[in-house]
Amino acid sequence: MATSVRVSQKWLSSKEREALLAGSTILINSLFDEYSKVDNWKRETIFLTRLGKHLPRTYFSHYTPLFFKQFGACVISMAWKFAQPKPLLPSSVAEQLAGWAILQEAQEILKQENPDENMEEATPELHMFTSRYFPDRGFLLLFDPSHDGRDVVSSAALTPQPSLTFEEWFCPFPGRTQSVHPYAGGSELVGQAYKHGLTRRERRTLAAAIVVLIDEIFEAIALVDKDESEQFVLFSLNWHLPSPYQSEYTPLFQKQFIVCIFTVAWKLAQPKPMALSSVAEELAAWAIITAAKQQVELDTELESADEFDLDDEGDESLIAEYAFENFLEVFLEDEDFLLLFDAENEGIETSLVGQWLHMTSLAFKDWRKPITSEPDRIAHPYVWSA
């Protein structure tokens, strides 16, 4: 990965931007490499992970493997928000904790580089950045062991904020322009920007597919021997990727592709349509759509066996072959990336036909690169930084 990140350039020095990128990278790697350490029956094991050390210890009884994944989704979301040209504030208590964890990692990196300096004096831009993103720090009360872990409420909030009880960590703050991640509290928001192209049942199916796909990925991660975490190879993930390029799918690329799946899932839950940033995100979107179509097929089988009931009278039966057709017409700008699944199409974008159609580069080296330099095309910093 590159060593810089577009994160509020006017506020941060290049050294601080690099530290912020490195901090988010450390925590995202922890999500993947240390997931198998979290034991549902020994929930204090979460503190053995780099990600877990940033969590309030009072609530350890709630820290299940599912929670670890949900908190990881918040870390991925906040890393993306930090990379945007304009501030996008945390949308939930969990996102506040995730963003704070990234900042703590960044500060630790800077401290190691300058052990004898006062960090607040040495990094004034980072403190300005922190103040801008966290105008209310009532959530830090969660780290105070004097509280009983339930009745913590921010008493000095600058903006309205719900109770900080654990049950509300993933609840969206009112008034935010961005929704929470569908895997971390926002599943009912999936497809809200595409209501004209999605039926209610398609929206629910899409939301369910996101959860199923992410769970399947982490089930595969859990099967990897803990002593072989550096050999992060998920063969099941390759099913969603073009087979002609299988030799390119390094452990790092696979992690980056999973981050693309998380990012696209987040975009699908936002109140306004959001463009996909790269070919990698288009492939991630297709993986989600494919999972949703598989869910439709499963539901159809259950319907035929009278084992599946429609949720309400307004629901309708779906046929996998035709499901999401209207949605795909507006969600995907084109389907050129599907040519990647056929080895005979390698290099087609440089052919006369590809040039005439103004096809974007389909070369593997460009999959993670933003399709254009427009602000709404900024890729996730874990995937691509420039």
Residues 6+ positions from 308 with CB-CB distance below 8 Å: 299, 302
Q: CB of 18 within 8 A of CB of 4?
A: yes
Residue 263 placed within a domain? yes
173 with 199, same domain?
A: no
Per-residue pLDDT tens over the stretch 174-192: 888 889 999 999 889 999 9
- Of 142, 167, 185, the residue that ends a domain is 185
In this prediction, residue 145 carries a pLDDT of 82
> In this structure, are 249 and 141 located in the same domain?
no
**How far is C-alpha 349 from the chain's CA centre?**
29
Residue 40 in any domain: the answer is: yes
Burial class from Cβ neighbours inside 10 Å (0-12, 13-18, 19+) for residue 325 reads: exposed
Q: Are residues 221 and 324 in the same domain?
A: yes
In this prediction, residue 167 carries a pLDDT of 92
In a domain, 220, yes or no: yes
- The contacts of residue 212 (CB under 8 Å, 6+ apart) are 291, 295
Is there a domain that residue 8 lies in? no
**Number of domains, the chain:** 2
pLDDT digits (tens, 9 = 90+) for 38-78: 999 999 999 999 999 999 999 999 999 999 999 999 999 99
Ramachandran assignment for 278, one of left (phi > 0), alpha (psi -120 to 50 degrees), beta (any other)? beta
In this structure, are 105 and 125 located in the same domain? yes
Q: Are residues 293 and 179 in the same domain?
A: no
- Label residue 174 exposed, middle or buried (CB < 10 Å: 0-12, 13-18, 19+): exposed
Question: In a 10 Å sphere around its CB, with 0-12 CB exposed, 13-18 middle and 19+ buried, how is residue 212 labelled?
Answer: middle
d(Cα 377, Cα 309) in Å, to the nearest integer? 40
Within a domain: 7: no
* Same domain as 48, residue 74: yes
Tokens 């929704």 identify what position?
Answer: 179
206-222 mean pLDDT: 93
pLDDT for residue 160: 52
Residues 175 and 236 in one domain: no
Q: Please check whether residues 120 and 212 belong to one and the same domain.
A: no
Q: Are residues 205 and 352 in the same domain?
A: yes
Convert the pLDDT of each residue in 254-292 to its tens digit: 999 999 999 999 999 999 999 999 999 999 999 999 999
125 phi and psi, to 5 degrees? -65, -40
Share of the chain above pLDDT 70, in %: 78
Q: What is the pLDDT of residues 242-263, one digit of tens each?
A: 988 888 888 899 999 999 999 9
> In which domain, by residue range, is 200 found?
194-377
Q: Give Cα 39 distance to the centre of its chain.
A: 23
Is residue 2 situated within a structural domain?
Answer: no
Residue 120 domain-assigned (yes or no): yes
Q: What is the pLDDT of residues 303-355, one digit of tens each?
A: 666 655 555 545 566 666 677 888 998 899 888 888 888 877 666 655 555 56
Residue 219 has pLDDT above 50, yes or no: yes
Domain boundary among 124, 152, 185: 185
For residues 27 and 151, membership in a common domain is answered with: yes
Q: Is the pLDDT of residue 162 over 60?
A: no
227 and 129 both lie in a single domain? no
Domain end marker among 138, 161, 185: 185
At 353 the pLDDT is 53
**Alpha-helical segments (H) within the chain:** 14-33, 65-82, 93-113, 119-122, 124-133, 200-223, 251-268, 279-304, 325-331, 352-356
pLDDT over 50 (residue 12): yes
Rounded CA separation 293/229 (Å)? 32
Tokens 């600058």 belong to residue: 158
Please tell me whether residues 135 and 220 are part of one structural domain: no
Whole-number pLDDT of residue 331? 92
Query: Does residue 386 fall inside a structural domain?
Result: no
**Taking 80 as the threshold, does the pLDDT of residue 135 lie above it?**
yes
Rounded to whole angstroms, the Cα distance separating 92 from 186 reads 10
Residue 10, pLDDT above cutoff 70:
no
pLDDT digits (tens, 9 = 90+) for 82-134: 988 887 899 999 999 999 999 999 999 988 887 766 666 657 778 888 888 88
